[in-house]
Structure 1
Amino acid sequence: MTQTTASGAPATGDVATPAGGHDTNKHLPVLVLGALGVVYGDIGTSPLYAFRQALFIRPAAQETSVEILGLLSLIIWALTIIVTIKYIFFVTRADNKGEGGTLSLMSLAAGSFAKRPRWIIGMGVIGAGLFLGDAIITPAVSVLSAVEGISVVAPQFERWIVPITLVLIIGLFAVQRFGTGGVARVFGPVTALWFIVLGACGLWRIIEYPAVLWALNPSYGAVFLFTHPGLALIVLGAVFLAVTGVEGLYVDLGHFGRKPIVIAWFSLVFPALLLNYFGQGAFVLSHDLAQITNPFFEMFPEWSQVAIVIFATAATIIASQAVITGTYSLARQAIALNLLPRMTVRHTSETQSGQIYMPQINSILMVLVIILVIAFGSSASLSNAYGIAVSGVMLVTTILLGVVMYRVWKWHLVPTLVVMIPFLVVDIGFFTANVVKLFQGGWVPAAVALVVAGIMTVWIQGRRRLAEKTRRDEVPLQFLVENLAKKKPTIVPGTAVFLTSDIEGAPTALLHSLKHYKVLHEHNVILTVLTADTPRVPDDEKVTIDAYNDLFYRVVVRFGFIETPNIPKALALARKLGWKFDIMSTSFFLSRRSLKASPKGLPIWLDRMFIALARNATDATEYFHIPTGRVVEIGTQVLL
């Protein structure tokens, strides 16, 4: 049997060229500007609530400047250690052919083993669940915190904060179907101006009270923690709000490349955030704390506060847009890696494959965000729920990063531990601090993460049991081919493509076709679609053909985990291999399984849950972009 790829060379496996392919030198300014809007939109809105939350946790009887400097020092050094050192210098280097994110890192780490360890897949599942838990908190807390500026400029309209927030959130999710391309063009400039305003106002307040710069000394933060042991974890949970959104640096790595993200951080984002936090500290230190309710908005001149409320609302909408888009990307990766059932993916751009819209995900997110806003009613209450998910994702990232350092980068064990242990100590500290808030709202993202991880686990286990059951009942493909070569049935013209996930077994649709129709096409293709551990697979390695005989061919199509599976386009590449593929003379045979719960094996409710997920999965015809007029579905019943 001869095996070739679309390049005409021997097949070499799941190898892909680097994703993204950005000409960072030519388009660097544009990429930097884009990164400001998409990557840093979330962390750029943290000054709205992070310092305020930390400030009002302190014991009221001890309102000293040393305490305020201590809180400020903790925020400054959290930004420096977690974002600048950990993510900028280490995590963003752990790219999977240019792509980033929890599932991408999981694939990179798992790919370093001969057989994927289940604990690494488990870490990826937990990380993905926690990210989705964070995705419902970000729009709610960000938009609420911005709209709450109304209470500063017009206290009489305070009762309208929640209704206005709901209108903005519904509008935000309603426009997703139209795509983010047009909106994204204004993300960068608006966010860049936002950071400039943050930095400028902060610098003005620092000039008024330069003693605030003593907070650069990390000893102030350490002293605060040691002198307030009873509040240490609660304060760290509030301080952590300053770094929420840091996963954006890694998740959007494939959209912009590492260089633009790093330049944007050091040239504008980091300086602006530092200046603004120092400015808020200076404002609090130079005013009566008893009269301050929202230091972010109150630090601005009174004549500008209305404009700042509007501007902050726009910035939070941008931050929310970024996390919603990231959720679509994560869900698509999870589907490609067989962690979730198929869902509808609609492309909203003819040129950018990353711009997608997923109706089911969009609806679920919108409903959950609306429920959160109504249930909690304020960003102060919601902020208690806004740390467990993010700190959990960061901890998962650190563990998987350690595996990549040791097994992929081939670091020695000693330097790996020297780098990883301090990061783990910091991450575990922040995670513990956020777990303290579990019963104050933190249960919300934790519950979402558990539900998502549970769904993924049921889907993985259900697919494994279904594959084992199907494999036991199937006839070996080689055996069938040899027998049909000896005794050929009636041959009809055309090409029949039989889809199957099992490379060794004969497709159920083929067996039932022979049983009922007792005919065989002159060309029969046994097609298997695989997902590579890389983001993309180049065209010349996407298709592999094995010729069994004149009647049967084995075709394996590989897609990267961020690619959209399009079988007709992939099969058209086979023309380079001499296969005269014509969609109009080709029929696609699919097996539609009717699943029934079994009293044996897993608990009956788990079987029923898997069956429900399978029934609600997007039809294979739509998911693989097969023309509906060329599809023949053959039904079979399977007892799990």
Structure 2
Amino acid sequence: MTAAALPRSSSSATSGFAPPQGQPRGRALAGLTLAAVGVVYGDIGTSPLYTVKEVFGAGGVPLTSANLVGAVSAILWALMLVVTLKYVVLILRADNRGEGGGLALTALAGRAVAHKPALRRVLLLLGVFGATLFYGDSVITPAISVLGAVEGLEVATPLLKPYVLPVSLAVLAALFLVQRFGTQQVGRVFGPIILVWFLALAWTGVQQIAQQPAILAALDPRQAWTFLAGRGWHVLAALGAIVLALTGAEALYADMGHFGRKPIQLAWSLLVMPSLALNYLGQGALLMRQPEAIDNPFFRLFPATWIAPAVLLATLAAIIASQAVISGAFSMTKQAIQLGFLPRMVVRNTSASEAGQIYLPAVNWALLAAVFAAVLWFGSSSALAGAYGMAVTLTMMITTVLTYFVICDGWRLPRWLALGATAFFMLFDAALVAGCAVKLFDGGWFPLALGGLLFIVMSTWARGRALLLDNIRDEGLALQPFIESLQDPSITRVSRTAIYPVANPDTVPQALLHNLKHNQVLHERNVILTVVFHEVPALPDSERVRVAELAPGFWRVTLNFGFLDVPDVPKALALCDAQGLRIPVFETSFFLSRETVVTAPGLGLRGWRRRLFAAMNRNATGVVAFFRLPDNAVVELGTRVQI
């Protein structure tokens, strides 16, 4: 809430780590597994559209039978070691009360090292940078997936090549335009469509393997080692292309809160991994027989009469893959707002039953503009492939670092075990980052530039917000002596309840001072309200409210929310009844302090960052909408604050 009303974040909601939640069974498990196929695996499921082509294109690998076997083997074992072993087996166990994702893991690691404040600050900054890289993925995934799918038109006939870019832009525009309606209805068909997609991947692969079974030698991990070792320094370019097969791995962890660990693991083990493996083997088998198919080995898997349906199916799969990262960007932004790293924005719930289905107009249109810019700048999926891996591999590396502290300091496992596992996965992460680094000037700069820009924005907001709170605390009056001075029976009190939202519950709200000075009003019931966002996804109603009586007619109320909770303040205040404080809805007014931030030199932020913070503060969404306050019960009083 503004000035006095900025929400605080805290790591003190709970101690330790949440116990494992019950796993679904039977029909519920099957339904969640199908849904996980549709939402979680859309991104990694569309990687076969361009990965093999890029290994022998941008990767600079000569198209020989030995290299085909080695490259396919490297792709398969990268999926096994990075996705299966690291994410499906290990990372999915690092849940924050059932939730996953970059900021959830950051909060978990921060709680694990809460006894080391300096290290905690470093991990929070590292996690925030990882979160900014996710936005790069949210831009590149729709662009490369839709372009890669629509490029199948060129396989049908070269005459359609001029239409690839306009059709791609039209599909992307339609995708972002429908976001405001929510994904509840569309989500019901995601699973079946992606299920058909994976079955098509497997079937086309099996057909080609049957004609060239020699490709099965790629199942031997020694083939991958021989291939990579034989590339010399050129192995970095090959790794930069192979990493495209791993894009979407972070989605396994990010979407854990929606589906649970077991459905995601089952979907990967029973359908996704086998289908991907068969398709990559099939593309290798096809190229061993027909090297000229390298122009688009994925669509060459299909008979000529099937190209049009294949393009349609691929486009639908690309849209679904894009939808997953767009929804993830909405969720990530909401988490960042409630953890204090971004200013308030308009958040609209698109489902009456699912609180997690949200729409942020500002984020939606910013993503659309960035996606259009990426499509028009790069022009093809091959050009975009150079930009794709950098954000993904750096995010993987950050995840590995954060998980180390969860294993060692959170789970209290032996340090040697945590170090061994971290070193093992860091070896792969470092190799993949190095492989993508060689594409820095071929597009790899794009997600880094976008992530760096967003990191500046998020760190500036967090630092400016901290300075703002420090200023309010330093210049404010101590609350307890002040309200004791108001107990004089000669002071007239008016009926009704006044609620004063504050960030620091120990200082007098500016709105209360203004009310007394200008309106000469003191209410019968005065509530000093603080909203605290904790570094856990959600809190039950039993932990939502804390009430303390400060003096006759004065109470301090603390409302606690997780970073995925909907901060509905009036609904939460109704829970005060159980703690002896009745707040009648129609007899209550909210008095808010609206700050005008005035920049001043030498107070902790450089000049341009002070101006940036002031601009963000001016344009932040109002407290009323963000905290669901009733419009007709709000009074705003202005104040000026220097930073």
**Alignment TM-score, normalising by the size of structure 1:** 0.96
Distance (Å, rounded) in 2 between the aligned partners of 1:115 and 1:64: 54
Q: CA deviation at 1:115?
A: 5.8
Distance (Å, rounded) in 2 between the aligned partners of 1:608 and 1:19: 46
Q: Do residues 253 (structure 1) and 256 (structure 2) align? A: yes
Gaps of 5+ in 1: 1-11
Paired residue for 2:8?
A: none
**SS of residue matched to 2:42:** coil
Q: For the Cα contact (< 8 Å) 1:526–1:555, is it kept in 2?
A: yes
2:176 to 154, 173, 176: 173
Runs of 4+ in structure 1 deviating by more than 6 angstroms, as ranges, are 15-22
Q: For the Cα contact (< 8 Å) 1:346–1:358, is it kept in 2?
A: yes
Q: CA deviation at 1:580?
A: 1.9
Paired residue for 2:196?
A: 193
Distance (Å, rounded) in 1 between the aligned partners of 2:490 and 2:285: 87
Paired residue for 1:66?
A: 66
Paired residue for 2:42?
A: 41
Distance (Å, rounded) in 2 between the aligned partners of 1:317 and 1:186: 12
Q: CA deviation at 1:123?
A: 1.1
2:549 to 547, 550, 560: 547
Q: For the Cα contact (< 8 Å) 2:593–2:638, is it kept in 1?
A: yes
Q: CA deviation at 1:124?
A: 1.2
Could you say if the C-alpha distance between residues 395 and 58 of structure 1 is closer, same or farther in structure 2, counting changes exceeding 3 Å?
A: closer
Distance (Å, rounded) in 2 between the aligned partners of 1:114 and 1:600: 31
Paired residue for 2:474?
A: 472
TM alignment of 1:113-132, pairs within 5 A: 113-114=114-115, 116=117, 117-132=120-135
Paired residue for 1:4?
A: none
1:146 to 139, 144, 149: 149
Q: CA deviation at 1:343?
A: 0.7
TM alignment of 1:449-528, pairs within 5 A: 449-486=451-488, 489-528=491-530
Paired residue for 1:366?
A: 368
Distance (Å, rounded) in 1 between the aligned partners of 2:438 and 2:622: 43
Paired residue for 1:432?
A: 434
Q: CA deviation at 1:600?
A: 2.3
Q: Do residues 629 (structure 1) and 620 (structure 2) align? A: no
Q: For the Cα contact (< 8 Å) 1:475–1:505, is it kept in 2?
A: yes
Paired residue for 1:219?
A: 222
Deviates more, 1:566-575 or 1:505-514: 505-514
TM alignment of 1:410-425, pairs within 5 A: 410-425=412-427
**SS of residue matched to 1:111:** helix
1:588 to 561, 566, 590: 590
Distance (Å, rounded) in 2 between the aligned partners of 1:19 and 1:418: 25
Counterpart of 1:472 in structure 2: which amino acid? D
Paired residue for 1:99?
A: 99
Could you say if the C-alpha distance between residues 382 and 58 of structure 1 is closer, same or farther in structure 2, counting changes exceeding 3 Å?
A: closer
Could you say if the C-alpha distance between residues 22 and 488 of structure 1 is closer, same or farther in structure 2, counting changes exceeding 3 Å?
A: farther
Paired residue for 1:90?
A: 90
Q: CA deviation at 1:550?
A: 1.8
Could you say if the C-alpha distance between residues 482 and 291 of structure 1 is closer, same or farther in structure 2, counting changes exceeding 3 Å?
A: closer
Distance (Å, rounded) in 1 between the aligned partners of 2:615 and 2:435: 38
Paired residue for 1:400?
A: 402
Paired residue for 1:274?
A: 277
Distance (Å, rounded) in 1 between the aligned partners of 2:553 and 2:323: 51
Q: CA deviation at 1:479?
A: 1.5
Paired residue for 1:382?
A: 384
Distance (Å, rounded) in 2 between the aligned partners of 1:154 and 1:356: 41
Q: Do residues 530 (structure 1) and 529 (structure 2) align? A: no
Q: CA deviation at 1:447?
A: 0.6
Counterpart of 2:623 in structure 1: which amino acid? A
- Write the deviation string for residues 386-433 of structure 1: whole angstroms up to 9, x where unpaired: 011111111111000000000111111011111111101101111111
Paired residue for 1:3?
A: none
Distance (Å, rounded) in 2 between the aligned partners of 1:115 and 1:622: 37
Distance (Å, rounded) in 2 between the aligned partners of 1:487 and 1:194: 76
Counterpart of 1:183 in structure 2: which amino acid? V
Deviates more, 1:390-399 or 1:576-585: 576-585
Counterpart of 1:41 in structure 2: which amino acid? G
Q: CA deviation at 1:20?
A: 8.5
Q: For the Cα contact (< 8 Å) 1:14–1:533, is it kept in 2?
A: no
Distance (Å, rounded) in 1 between the aligned partners of 2:32 and 2:279: 25
**SS of residue matched to 2:560:** strand
Counterpart of 1:32 in structure 2: which amino acid? T
Paired residue for 2:78?
A: 78
Q: For the Cα contact (< 8 Å) 1:179–1:348, is it kept in 2?
A: yes
Q: CA deviation at 1:17?
A: 7.3
Distance (Å, rounded) in 1 between the aligned partners of 2:171 and 2:489: 68
Deviates more, 1:35-44 or 1:65-74: 65-74
Q: For the Cα contact (< 8 Å) 2:44–2:248, is it kept in 1?
A: yes
Deviates more, 1:266-275 or 1:488-497: 488-497
Distance (Å, rounded) in 2 between the aligned partners of 1:590 and 1:545: 20
Q: For the Cα contact (< 8 Å) 1:19–1:254, is it kept in 2?
A: no
Q: For the Cα contact (< 8 Å) 2:13–2:536, is it kept in 1?
A: no
Q: Give the number of equivalent residue pairs.
A: 627
Distance (Å, rounded) in 1 between the aligned partners of 2:65 and 2:149: 27
Counterpart of 1:68 in structure 2: which amino acid? L
- Write the deviation string for residues 415-457 of structure 1: whole angstroms up to 9, x where unpaired: 1111111101101111111121111011111111001111011
Q: Do residues 299 (structure 1) and 279 (structure 2) align? A: no
Q: For the Cα contact (< 8 Å) 2:287–2:293, is it kept in 1?
A: no
Q: Do residues 244 (structure 1) and 262 (structure 2) align? A: no
Q: CA deviation at 1:355?
A: 0.6
Counterpart of 1:220 in structure 2: which amino acid? Q
Counterpart of 1:592 in structure 2: which amino acid? R
Could you say if the C-alpha distance between residues 163 and 452 of structure 1 is closer, same or farther in structure 2, counting changes exceeding 3 Å?
A: same
Q: CA deviation at 1:186?
A: 0.3
- Write the deviation string for residues 17-60 of structure 1: whole angstroms up to 9, x where unpaired: 77997745451111011000100000000000011100224657
Q: For the Cα contact (< 8 Å) 1:24–1:259, is it kept in 2?
A: no
Q: CA deviation at 1:226?
A: 2.2
Distance (Å, rounded) in 1 between the aligned partners of 2:59 and 2:559: 59
**Alignment TM-score, normalising by the size of structure 2:** 0.95
- Write the deviation string for residues 170-210 of structure 1: whole angstroms up to 9, x where unpaired: 00000000000000000000001100110011011111111
Q: CA deviation at 1:488?
A: 5.6
Deviates more, 1:20-29 or 1:289-298: 20-29
Deviates more, 1:302-311 or 1:214-223: 214-223
Q: For the Cα contact (< 8 Å) 1:24–1:260, is it kept in 2?
A: no
Counterpart of 1:384 in structure 2: which amino acid? G
Distance (Å, rounded) in 2 between the aligned partners of 1:337 and 1:317: 30
Gaps of 5+ in 2: 1-11
Q: For the Cα contact (< 8 Å) 2:502–2:509, is it kept in 1?
A: yes
**SS of residue matched to 1:88:** helix
Paired residue for 2:7?
A: none
Q: CA deviation at 1:584?
A: 0.7
Q: For the Cα contact (< 8 Å) 1:385–1:444, is it kept in 2?
A: yes
Amino-acid identity (%) = 44
**SS of residue matched to 1:351:** coil
Distance (Å, rounded) in 2 between the aligned partners of 1:551 and 1:441: 62
Distance (Å, rounded) in 1 between the aligned partners of 2:39 and 2:578: 39
